[in-house]
A and B are shown apart, each in its own frame.
Chain A
Amino acid sequence: MNPVRMQFIRDKLHEIAADEDTSTSLQPDQVLNGLDVLDVGCGGGLLTESLARMNARTTGIDASKSNISIATLHAQADPRLRDSGNINYLHTSAETLLDQPKRYDVVCSMEVLEHVDNPSQFLATCAELVKPGGHLFLSTISRTPLAYALTILMTEEILQNVSRGTHTYSKFVKPSELVQFFREYRSSSTGPNSSSALKPWITTPASANYIPRTEAELRGLIYNPLAARWHLAPRDAWGALECNYIFWVRKPKN
């Protein structure tokens, strides 16, 4: 699923960059060059490594110490990553990292939301870590009967592949809930005369079934077992958000 997630991140950033500077000659594969990127809950570092290869100054954090050591070892084996100095792993939680002043151009947190106990607080933490005008990417599983059947019933109960309790249905966040969160959410503190503190990240009202393309986007991640490949559902594909999905939202500028 990693190539698809990276493709989404890359293309979305490129789309926004091209929106803001129509004369830009920036290629999609250069769009992460030199950006400060944070990968929250990096696990073994699959996404972190890809971000670093795209020349982003990447920090991967994870609450699990063993995950951080595995990720570090793995990156060490890759001479280009090692020598680029683009990758930096920290054993810490998102909440703890918030105490530090550093904020990021891009914050990613893939497949983490469904594991946390307090999703709103976790979302707020991630949002705070983003610089004004920066980007937040999340991927997770929706709370739908289909998601339940696929992820919990099948993997944990029937196939018994994943240790029980890895996923809890009640922790799954629906796409609509994510969107609603960023309609209501206001950044707490981004400086004395910051206007972004007041602006919601998504400005359309809840009654509107529409999210502006420049503020947020939701896409389904669909696995095709015949091709053994993940692919990104087209925008507005019906039913695509039923299970795995990826979400992007942008923090308002100052």
Chain B
Amino acid sequence: MVLTSTSSRSAAYLQRSCRTLFAARSYSTNVVDCDVVIVGGGPAGLALASALGSSSVASKKISVTLVEGGDLHKIKSWNPAPDNFSNRVVSLTNTSQQFLKDTGAWSYLDQGRTCGVEQMQIWDGLSDARIEFFAEDLGPEIRKVGMSRLTENFNLQRGLLKHIENLPSVTLLDKTRVQSIRKGDSTDGAWPIVQLDNNQTLRARLLVGADGFNSPVRAYAQIPSFGWSYDTQAIVATMIHPPRGAYEGPNTTAYQRFLATGPIAFLPLSPCISSLVWSTKPALAKALLSCDPEVLSAMINASFRLPHISLKYLNSRILEEHAAGHPITPAKIREEIQWREKVHGFDQHSIYSSANAQSQLGVASMDSETLPPLITSIQPASPASFPLRFNHAETYLGEDSNARVVLVGDAAHTIHPLAGQGLNLGLADVECLSKCIENSLSSGGDIGSYTALLPYAQERYLANHILMAAVDKLHKIYTTELEPVVWARSTGVEILNELDTVKAALMMSAGAQTGPSLDASSAGWTMAGNAVQTLASASKTIGIMGNVVGNVLGAAVKNLAASQDQDTPDYPGILPTLQEAQTVIAQLTDEAQDKRESIVTLLSHINKLKEDIDAISNKLLEKIPLSTACHDAQGELWSASIESALIRLSLLKAQTEREFYNHSIPSTEAGKSTTKTSSKTVNQALEMGYGHLRAQEADMTKEAHQLDRQLLEYTNMLELVEGGKKGAYKQIVDDWAEVKQGTDECLKDLRRLGWTGD
């Protein structure tokens, strides 16, 4: 590798490693021919350079030039004190680590600055529904290495730079920005021409955009991307805390609590130091970062411990004070927190109490591992914040006149960090792309050609999209302020199921140590995405049920009123009972009405979500020819949602039945001797209502059957089209598709070559 910063030196090196074209070709300056030009020296770009430079096939046949605007020397000579940690930390899955081991880069990371995650604790801030998982559950191999490994971005980047240093086919140009990119002359193959701000010009056989979210390369290739910014900022910081006690496990547990404002995560780095990723509302992030760091640490401790309602209050206090122009003081916030803890009845010595923050207890309480250690301080200057967004390029390859461009990492996709997958996706891209390049090289391909790059896009686009959609949906479900979702969450049941699928997804990502790992983990993420959809459909069911409950109770009350008129003179003792029953029922009706209303809002929200998702998948369908496996997965997804909707339906039915009986008992008992008629009337009304319910259920079952039939038809059709069953229809469709695509491909090649077909 050649690391150069000044333009004269780099020009000299470049001439050595690449060939130069002179002005005769209508360029005003020297144009240097390069095989692979990578724009961006972030983790993804560096990992690609290190993979290509260390590949026995690629390093012999192609040169790699990486252009980075920032100062890579600084990163390479980064040498922090052992107890000082950078605020940017990533969790690398075993798959990512394996890739870095395969290229040889991993051994250049300072292993002392990495931390294997042996346990994860994830819980819901509203319901306290919790899941925990342990590396040892994933088998002996994972037990040894952990579910994933946390390290600083800088440690990874520095390791990659040290690895690249020994790779002669790689040239690094840092402190150099890409100024513009244009298309070369068509007589000269129209290869992309990259203009650098040091007056150098590179002509690229393959131009790789590893240039992050704002990717200039993506803009050049006119690749649209779709996405939205979450109304969320991620606060990062390096947190200092006492070591775990003698009776506790080591600091190797990652914690994440889903708060209504976004998830807060605690990522262990060393026995006394951990990293914070706290996604929250931008205003709150701003207010918190303008306070004394002690306020931040107090709020971190509180956010892992206090109930939702208190956090809401504390947040509003912080915002108020901030708006008034005087950030809240550490003393004030501590006082507020302690008051809140008292209100909630936290024992001073329990792990929930922040009074423990300053004192170091020798003996751990029983459940101390369910919470992260209390933060005592924040490493100076470490707090910072980043806006969070969802973004996915519509394609990873430049086409036609923008050919020879490929996107990797955040340039192709940006996601919410709640699952710690952003860079892991980027590294999976890099691994796939470098394999794809090697394959092409080993059969004499032109690595810039569409044909050579297509397998990369096909493999990565769908896999990334599945995970991205799952993570996006999770974020939306957990941060919505909409009452029904919050209500659904507070019941805990739904959320546990959901967390379970998140768990499965994470486990599969984590467990994917070897083999066809991508399939396993994306199956997990499909499940997670699916579960969220199931929640949505369950809420819809609740909506319908709510409606029924409302009607039934309405009818019951009407009947009661009627019977009251008739019965009062004859049975004077009945009145209080009836009145009582009436209040209960009125209450129930109100509740039902409330639920119904909120469910209607939820429905519209969910429909919006669904529309978004549908729009995305339609776009996806256009871009990516679906594989058989994907069709199958979709079929399964359908049947799974129908099935679970039915299960939930019966659960709801059972619950409703119970409610009815519970509420009919007092009035029946009270009126046993005196109010036969009224209790009869109530029962009749209830029976009637129950009948409605039954009818509704029958309708829904019918609907479900219909869906089942549709699904079956769909599956049969797919089978016809995709094989399995041999048949004339399949043959025709196959043949037609084959011919059409074959001709298209052929024509494209021919047109590209200007061949007329003689």
Tell whether A pairs with B: yes
Chain A residues with CB under 8 Å of chain B are: 1-3, 6-7, 10, 28-29, 32, 43-46, 49-54, 64, 66-67, 70-71, 73-74, 77-80, 83, 146, 149-151, 154-155, 159, 161-163, 166, 223, 225-229
Which A residues are CB-close (under 8 A) to B745? 1, 223, 228
| Bound-state Cα–Cα, A54 to B443, Å | 7
Interface residue B756 (Cβ < 8 Å from any Cβ of A): yes
A223 near B454 with CB under 8 A, answer: no
A83 near B738 with CB under 8 A, answer: no
Closest chain A residue to B750, Cβ basis: A44
Interface residue B187 (Cβ < 8 Å from any Cβ of A): yes
- Residue contacts A-B, CB under 8 angstroms, 30 given: A6-B444, A7-B443, A10-B443, A29-B441, A29-B443, A44-B753, A49-B446, A50-B443, A50-B446, A51-B444, A54-B443, A54-B444, A67-B755, A74-B753, A77-B188, A78-B205, A78-B446, A79-B19, A79-B21, A80-B205, A149-B735, A150-B742, A159-B743, A223-B745, A226-B625, A226-B627, A226-B628, A227-B625, A229-B454, A229-B455
Contact residues, B394-447 vs A (CB, 8 A): 439-446
Contacts A7-B443, A150-B735 aside, 8 further interface pairs with beta carbons under 8 A come to: A3-B439, A10-B443, A43-B755, A44-B750, A52-B444, A73-B187, A154-B736, A226-B628
A44 near B755 with CB under 8 A, answer: yes
| Bound-state Cα–Cα, A154 to B741, Å | 12
Which B residues are CB-close (under 8 A) to A10? 442-444
B753 near A43 with CB under 8 A, answer: yes
Contact residues, B154-172 vs A (CB, 8 A): none
| Bound-state Cα–Cα, A162 to B743, Å | 8
A150 near B444 with CB under 8 A, answer: no
- A231 → chain B, closest Cβ, in Å? 11
Q: Main secondary structure on chain B at its contact with chain A?
A: helix
CB contact between B443 and one of A3, A70, A155 (< 8 Å): that residue = A3
Which B residues are CB-close (under 8 A) to A49? 444, 446
- B438 → chain A, closest Cβ, in Å? 9
- A77 → chain B, closest Cβ, in Å? 3
Contact residues, B617-669 vs A (CB, 8 A): 625-628
CB contact between B757 and one of A79, A154, A162 (< 8 Å): that residue = A162
A227 near B753 with CB under 8 A, answer: no
Which A residues are CB-close (under 8 A) to B626? 226
Chain B residues with CB under 8 Å of chain A are: 19, 21, 33, 35, 57, 187-189, 191, 205, 439-446, 451-452, 454-455, 458, 625-628, 722, 734-743, 745-747, 749-750, 752-758
CB contact between B454 and one of A53, A80, A228 (< 8 Å): that residue = A228
Which A residues are CB-close (under 8 A) to B57? 29
- A182 → chain B, closest Cβ, in Å? 26
- Known A50-B444, A223-B738, A226-B625; judge A155-B753 contact (CB<8 A): no
- Known A7-B443, A53-B445; judge A44-B749 contact (CB<8 A): yes
| Bound-state Cα–Cα, A73 to B185, Å | 12
CB contact between B741 and one of A73, A151, A225 (< 8 Å): that residue = A225
Closest chain A residue to B57, Cβ basis: A29
- A176 → chain B, closest Cβ, in Å? 22
A225 near B454 with CB under 8 A, answer: no
Which B residues are CB-close (under 8 A) to A155? 739, 742-743
Which B residues are CB-close (under 8 A) to A29? 57, 441-443
| Bound-state Cα–Cα, A166 to B625, Å | 29
| Bound-state Cα–Cα, A200 to B440, Å | 36
Which A residues are CB-close (under 8 A) to B19? 79, 83
- B493 → chain A, closest Cβ, in Å? 40
- A129 → chain B, closest Cβ, in Å? 21
Which A residues are CB-close (under 8 A) to B739? 150-151, 154-155, 159
Which B residues are CB-close (under 8 A) to A7? 443
| Bound-state Cα–Cα, A20 to B298, Å | 75
Closest chain B residue to A53, Cβ basis: B444
- Known A7-B443, A67-B755, A163-B757; judge A228-B741 contact (CB<8 A): yes
B755 near A150 with CB under 8 A, answer: no
A66 near B756 with CB under 8 A, answer: yes
- B167 → chain A, closest Cβ, in Å? 19
Closest chain B residue to A81, Cβ basis: B446
CB contact between B749 and one of A46, A80, A162 (< 8 Å): that residue = A46
A225 near B445 with CB under 8 A, answer: no
CB contact between B743 and one of A32, A43, A71, A161 (< 8 Å): that residue = A161
B445 near A50 with CB under 8 A, answer: yes
A64 near B740 with CB under 8 A, answer: no
A3 near B753 with CB under 8 A, answer: no
- A216 → chain B, closest Cβ, in Å? 22
- Known A226-B627, A228-B741; judge A79-B735 contact (CB<8 A): no
| Bound-state Cα–Cα, A223 to B440, Å | 18
Closest chain A residue to B752, Cβ basis: A44
A166 near B442 with CB under 8 A, answer: no
A78 near B189 with CB under 8 A, answer: yes
B735 near A70 with CB under 8 A, answer: no
B625 near A228 with CB under 8 A, answer: yes
| Bound-state Cα–Cα, A73 to B753, Å | 9
Closest chain A residue to B731, Cβ basis: A146
Closest chain A residue to B189, Cβ basis: A77
Closest chain A residue to B35, Cβ basis: A80
A223 near B742 with CB under 8 A, answer: yes
Which A residues are CB-close (under 8 A) to B736? 154
| Bound-state Cα–Cα, A1 to B445, Å | 11
| Bound-state Cα–Cα, A64 to B666, Å | 98
- B374 → chain A, closest Cβ, in Å? 54
Which A residues are CB-close (under 8 A) to B35? 80
B191 near A77 with CB under 8 A, answer: yes
- A169 → chain B, closest Cβ, in Å? 15
- Known A43-B755, A46-B749, A70-B755; judge A225-B740 contact (CB<8 A): yes
B722 near A226 with CB under 8 A, answer: yes
A6 near B742 with CB under 8 A, answer: no
A46 near B753 with CB under 8 A, answer: yes
Which B residues are CB-close (under 8 A) to A150? 735, 738-739, 742
| Bound-state Cα–Cα, A166 to B754, Å | 16
- B437 → chain A, closest Cβ, in Å? 13
Which A residues are CB-close (under 8 A) to B756? 66
| Bound-state Cα–Cα, A227 to B454, Å | 10
Which A residues are CB-close (under 8 A) to B734? 225
- A225 → chain B, closest Cβ, in Å? 4
Which A residues are CB-close (under 8 A) to B445? 2-3, 6, 50, 53
Closest chain B residue to A28, Cβ basis: B442
B754 near A70 with CB under 8 A, answer: yes
Which B residues are CB-close (under 8 A) to A64? 758
